[in-house]
Amino acid sequence: MNIFGYDMPRLHAVLNDLPAALLVVAVLFEFATLIWKRESLRGAARWTLWAGVIGGWLAVIAGELAEDALEHGEAIHELMEQHETQALVTMIAFTIVLGWKMFRRFSLAPWEEWTTRALSVFGFVGILWTGAIGGKLMFEHAAGIPNATIEAEMRNRGAGHEHEPGEEHEEAGDTTKAGADTTKRGHVDPPGTPPHKH
C-alpha cells in the first residue's frame, strides 16, 4: 500500500517524529505553566497536546500497517512487538490526559492537575523508550530496508572507494591528520559508516 508515494514503513517514519516532539513539548509547557502561571503557556500546552495525540495515533496506525509490509526475522519481530506495545501504552496515557481535561472542560481540581501531570510524565518516558526501540530497529537491524537493498549496500561497501585529494579519512593507526596526504588512495570505511559520495 502506498500513500502519497510512501510505502507504510516510510510513511510511519515520516509521521512519527512530529507527534513525539509535540507531546514532549506539551509536557514541558504543562510544567512551565505550573512555574510561571501564564495562561498563554496553558493554552500552548493544550494545543500541543491535541496535535500530538492526533498525530501520534496516525503514526501508530501507520506503524501497525508497516509491520506486515517489511521483511524481517525473529530479532526484528520481537523488537517490533516491544515498540508497538510501548507506543500503544504511551498514546493511551496521553489520550487519557486529553480526554479527562476535555471532560472537565480544562478546569481541573488541584488533585486532577497533579494526576494528569504524573500521567504526562509517564507518557514522556514512554516516548523516550518507544523512540529508543525504534532507533534500535532502524540503526541496528535495518528494519524497513529490503533484503536486496542491504545486500547491494554490503557489496558496495566491500568494494571500497576513493577520496578526492585532501578529503581522506584518518585510518586506524594513521597518525597523519586527514587531508595531510593529498595522494588519491582507495580504502574501506569502518562498519557502520554512512554511505557517502566524493
Share of the chain above pLDDT 90, in %: 49
Tell me: pLDDT of 180 over 50.
Answer: no
Per-residue model confidence (pLDDT) at position 176: 46
CA–CA dist 172, 63 (Å, integer): 40
pLDDT confidence tier of residue 170, bands split at 50, 70 and 90: low
Is 63 in contact with 83 (CB distance < 8 Å)? yes
8 Å CB contact between 86 and 126: yes
Mean pLDDT across the stretch 164-189?
54
> What's the mean pLDDT in 103-117?
90
Mean pLDDT score, 163-181: 57
DSSP 142: -
Measured CA to CA, the distance from residue 6 to residue 12 in angstroms comes to 9
Mean pLDDT score, 122-144: 92
Question: Residue 172 pLDDT > 50, yes or no?
Answer: no
Q: 164 and 195 in contact (C-beta within 8 Å)?
A: no
Contacts within 8 Å (CB) and 24+ apart, 141-149: 141/72, 141/75, 141/76, 141/79, 143/9, 143/70, 143/72, 143/76, 143/79, 143/80, 144/9, 144/10, 144/13, 144/66, 144/70, 146/71, 147/71
Looking at residue 166, what is its pLDDT? 75
Task: Please determine, for residue 126, whether its predicted confidence score (pLDDT) is greater than 90.
Answer: yes
Cell of 37: 502561571
Lowest-confidence range among 69-73, 80-84, 191-195?
Answer: 191-195
182 — pLDDT class (breaks 50, 70, 90)? very low
> Under a CB-based contact definition with an 8 Å cutoff, are residues 112 and 100 in contact?
yes
